[in-house]
Amino acid sequence: MKTSIPMSLSRRHGLQLAALALASALAPAWAADEAPDAFIKRITNDTLELIKADKSLRSGDMSKLIQLVDAKLMPHVNFRRMTSLATGPAWRKATPEQQKRLQDEFKILLVRTYSGALSQVSDQVVVVKPLRAGQEDKNLVVNTEVRGKGDPIQLDYRLEKTPGEGAGWMIFDLNVLGVWLVENYRTQFTKEINAGGIDALIASLALRNKSNAKPA
């Protein structure tokens, strides 16, 4: 079964890198004072080792991949913020029920997208670049470069630091091949909302997820 991502991210290794980017949050949370670039370096290396060591992940066991992403990835992603940013101004006008349905459908879409690409990741090496000074903890970008076959690929993470007990870094957006994921989806979502409102967007995502769930 093939899953889809925005057209501008549809190159093969773009899909691979997007999978690596979001699926990299597989390790348990460390201390709240962990530097953001150290956080990205740690979780990226952990993910690479996990994929290389797990034959079923490499062979494309979709059921296991979906379970892994849902259980290990999503707790490290501020998914509500990601969904609200992708939806744009219409998010604030949506009812709590609409927000929940939209978030649920968007989550399914991304889980299946990145699960379908996890088995593609094999021999890449991620180099974390020096952190740019003066950034705020609520909107901080860590730049990395993925090296493997072919030219190096830009891969940037947008993070926020959560306060209070259990504080740590959370991923809420990423840039693959020069395109921010949230911005790319926002373009698509805006067209759906302008055409039929928030319910039309929810219905469209539900239909896409139902289609993706069918055996190839």
CATH of the domain at 150: 3.10.450.710
Note whether residue 43 is domain-resident. Answer: yes
Give the model's pLDDT for residue 2: 43
Give the other-Cβ count within 10 Å of 32's Cβ.
Answer: 14
If one counts the domains in the chain, the total is: 1
Residue 89: DSSP 8-state = T
Give the model's pLDDT for residue 147: 81
Give the model's pLDDT for residue 120: 62
Residue 199 domain boundaries = 7-213
Q: Mean per-residue pLDDT for 1-20?
A: 53
Note whether residue 164 is domain-resident. Answer: yes
Note whether residue 2 is domain-resident. Answer: no
Rounded Cα distance between 213 and 111, Å, is: 11
Note whether residue 1 is domain-resident. Answer: no
CB-count exposure of residue 12 (10 Å: 0-12, 13-18, 19+)? exposed
Give the model's pLDDT for residue 76: 76
Phi, psi angle pair for 141, to nearest 5°: -110, 130
Which of 4-13, 127-136, 144-153 has the lowest average pLDDT?
Answer: 4-13
Note whether residue 146 is domain-resident. Answer: yes
Give the model's pLDDT for residue 205: 95
Note whether residue 186 is domain-resident. Answer: yes
